[in-house]
């Protein structure tokens, strides 16, 4: 009976909502004022070096001229360099953040290619609020780690007020139902039963959809041959009635407006770190030592050719206003956001950090003016060069992060 009621609720929702296009991103929009590139070390301790557009072009991660010609945004990672696995900055990659923020809406991402499911990788398309993580929420639409075939869709929230989901009225498999980080680092998660990674690429890509209202969030995945007609249309607004049962239906005992608001959209391809690094061994990836995270770094450092399929190719990203529940107009953040701390926000004070990872220009830990990943403390961009001990190498001896974080 509960399942039937949920399905009827979704059907009623489908017939009551219409959408107006709010923003459309394609081609060079991802590399001009619509998105910014985060540069430097990874907030989630990945073996990655997020670079500027200039450096990305130099290393062949992106070809702006080609994007200008085709109107299709394509970017990848460094696939040629052999690296030092103990260096703080790892394989070069890109991390894109939308300048505008959103509260509610229908998000439609059409991709011709997503990063393939390869050991050492951790690609994601996600939404993130500002402040101490995750008090303003996190929404993961695309997230895969290592060689795993399933896309994991998830929400991360604060623990007050309570936020749990029922896990009914969806085609995907409910893994965890508590969205609060205080009770589970995984958040509330659903494993998709639709094509993802290399399998999706083999089918010509597809479309990922997020519907976000005060009542909850629903996510769909359509491979190329199954895209609803209204999404294919260049003149119509999407018709929810064409979408069918969502892969993930995040509804339940949760005040969604209290937990999720003013979110930026983010694309990134990470390596290892607090998710792919921690699960490298359990996912059956090649171990060079007895340590999962360390072996992940070694693999990523020494096998650049493994990442030839680790690229994004985006046809467009459309954001629609939900007419029956108008979105807060897209706006720029009031101040530049700090993405040098965990997931774009400060670390919860209760967490235990791994070894100090730092850039060659970072000061020692006792210098508060230059950041290191210290929990419960907001940090600033690591750009000040100061004297101090050599902190350019990784140290795996000081513990680890939990094995699954959602966005870590």
User: 239 and 144 in contact (C-beta within 8 Å)?
Assistant: no
Q: What is the pLDDT of residue 186?
A: 85
Whether 289 is covered by a domain: the verdict is yes
Q: Is the pLDDT assigned to residue 185 strictly greater than 80? A: no
Catalytic residues: 138, 143
Q: Is the pLDDT assigned to residue 340 strictly greater than 80? A: no
Which residue has better confidence, 305 or 346? 305
How many Å separate Cα 246 from the centre of its chain?
20
Q: Average of pLDDT values for 319-325?
A: 86
Global pTM?
0.82
pLDDT in tens, 17-53: 899 999 999 999 999 989 999 999 898 999 999 999 9
Q: What is the pLDDT of residue 9?
A: 52
Q: Average of pLDDT values for 87-113?
A: 97
Q: Is the pLDDT assigned to residue 318 strictly greater than 80? A: yes
Q: What is the pLDDT of residue 62?
A: 98
pLDDT confidence tier of residue 105, bands split at 50, 70 and 90: very high
Q: Average of pLDDT values for 78-96?
A: 97
Alpha-carbon distance of 352 to 293, in angstroms, equals: 16
φ/ψ of 383, rounded to 5, equals: -125, 0
Q: Is the pLDDT assigned to residue 404 strictly greater than 50? A: no
pLDDT confidence tier of residue 182, bands split at 50, 70 and 90: confident
pLDDT confidence tier of residue 135, bands split at 50, 70 and 90: confident
Q: What is the pLDDT of residue 382?
A: 28
Whether 222 is covered by a domain: the verdict is yes
Exposed e or buried b per residue across 358-386, where buried means at least 16 C-beta atoms within 10 angstroms of its C-beta: bbeebbeeeeeebbbbbeeeebeebeeee
Whether 359 is covered by a domain: the verdict is no
Whether 162 is covered by a domain: the verdict is yes
Alpha-carbon distance of 252 to 218, in angstroms, equals: 12
User: 17 and 239 in contact (C-beta within 8 Å)?
Assistant: no
List, in sequence order, every residue forming a beta bridge with 217; answer none if it has no partner.
212, 250
Q: What is the pLDDT of residue 364?
A: 26
Q: Average of pLDDT values for 180-194?
A: 87
Which residue has better confidence, 166 or 8? 166
How close are the terminal C-alpha atoms of the chain, in Å? 36
Q: Average of pLDDT values for 197-206?
A: 98
pLDDT in tens, 361-397: 322 222 222 222 222 222 222 222 222 223 345 544 3
Mean of the per-residue pLDDT values of the chain: 82
Q: Average of pLDDT values for 280-307?
A: 98
What is the percent of the chain where pLDDT is above 70?
75
In a 3-state reduction of DSSP, which class is residue 87? strand
Of 339, 345, 408, nearest to 375 (Cα)?
345
Which residue has better confidence, 227 or 332? 227
In a 3-state reduction of DSSP, which class is residue 43? coil
Which residue has better confidence, 200 or 336? 200
Residue 359's alpha-carbon distances to 53, 201, 314, 344, 377, in angstroms, are: 19, 35, 31, 18, 18
pLDDT confidence tier of residue 253, bands split at 50, 70 and 90: very high
List, in sequence order, every residue forming a beta bridge with 187; answer none if it has no partner.
none
Whether 47 is covered by a domain: the verdict is yes
CB neighbourhood size of 321 (10 A): 22
Alpha-carbon distance of 120 to 139, in angstroms, equals: 22
Alpha helices by DSSP H, listed for 106-228, are 197-202
> Which helix (H) or strand (E) is 16 found in, with range?
helix 2-16
- Cβ contacts of residue 243 below 8 Å, gap of 6+? 14, 209, 220, 228
Q: Is the pLDDT assigned to residue 346 strictly greater than 70? A: no
pLDDT confidence tier of residue 197, bands split at 50, 70 and 90: very high
CA dihedral 205, 263, 163, 167 (to 10 degrees): -10
CB neighbourhood size of 277 (10 A): 32
CATH of the domain at 107: 2.60.120.200
> In a 10 Å sphere around its CB, with 0-12 CB exposed, 13-18 middle and 19+ buried, how is residue 291 labelled?
middle
Whether 100 is covered by a domain: the verdict is yes
- Cβ contacts of residue 87 below 8 Å, gap of 6+? 301, 392, 393, 394
Q: What is the pLDDT of residue 357?
A: 35
Whether 364 is covered by a domain: the verdict is no
φ/ψ of 292, rounded to 5, equals: -60, -55
How many Å separate Cα 149 from the centre of its chain?
17
Whether 332 is covered by a domain: the verdict is yes
Q: Average of pLDDT values for 338-352?
A: 40
Number of domains in the chain: 1
Residue numbers of the domain that contains 244? 2-341
Q: Is the pLDDT assigned to residue 16 strictly greater than 50? A: yes
Q: What is the pLDDT of residue 108?
A: 98
Q: What is the pLDDT of residue 13?
A: 53
Strands (E), 306-398: 312-322, 328-331
């Amino acid at each position: 009976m509960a399942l039937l009621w949920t399905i009827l609720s979704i059907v009623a929702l489908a017939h009551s909502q219409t959408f107006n296009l709010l923003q459309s991103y394609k081609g060079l929009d991802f590399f001009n004022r619509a998105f910014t590139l985060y540069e430097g070390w990874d907030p989630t301790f990945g073996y990655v070096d997020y670079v500027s557009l200039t450096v990305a072009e130099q290393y062949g991660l992106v070809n702006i001229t080609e994007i200008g010609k085709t109107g299709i945004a394509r970017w990848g990672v460094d696939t040629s360099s052999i690296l030092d696995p103990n260096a703080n900055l790892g394989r070069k990659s890109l991390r894109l953040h939308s300048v505008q923020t959103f509260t509610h809406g229908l998000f439609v991402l059409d991709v011709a290619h997503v990063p393939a499911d390869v050991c050492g990788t951790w690609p994601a398309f996600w939404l993130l609020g500002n402040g101490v993580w995750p008090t303003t929420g996190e929404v993961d639409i695309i997230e895969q780690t290592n060689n795993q075939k399933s896309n994991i869709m998830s929400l991360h929230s604060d623990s007050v007020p309570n936020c749990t989901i029922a896990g009914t009225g969806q085609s995907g498999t409910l893994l965890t139902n508590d969205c609060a980080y205080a009770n589970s680092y995984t958040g509330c998660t659903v494993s998709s039963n639709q094509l993802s990674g290399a399998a999706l690429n083999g089918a010509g890509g597809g479309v990922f959809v997020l519907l976000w209202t005060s009542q909850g969030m629903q996510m769909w995945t359509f491979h190329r041959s199954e895209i609803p007609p209204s999404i294919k249309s260049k003149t119509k607004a999407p018709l929810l009635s064409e979408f069918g049962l969502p892969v993930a239906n995040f509804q339940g005992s949760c005040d969604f407006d209290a937990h999720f608001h003013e979110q930026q959209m983010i694309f990134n391809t990470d390596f290892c770190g607090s998710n792919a690094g921690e699960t490298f061994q359990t996912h059956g990836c090649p171990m060079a030592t007895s340590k999962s995270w360390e072996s992940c770094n070694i693999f990523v450092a020494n096998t650049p050719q493994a990442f030839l399929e680790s690229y994004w190719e985006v046809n467009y990203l459309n954001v629609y206003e939900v007419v029956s529940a108008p979105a807060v107009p897209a706006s720029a953040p009031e101040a530049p956001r700090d993405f040098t701390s965990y997931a774009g926000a400060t670390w919860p004070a209760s967490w235990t950090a791994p070894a100090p990872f730092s850039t060659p220009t970072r000061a020692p830990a006792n210098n508060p003016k230059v950041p290191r990943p210290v929990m419960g403390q907001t940090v600033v961009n690591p750009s000040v060069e100061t004297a101090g001990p050599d902190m350019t190498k990784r140290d795996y001896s000081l513990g680890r992060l939990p094995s699954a974080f959602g966005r870590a």
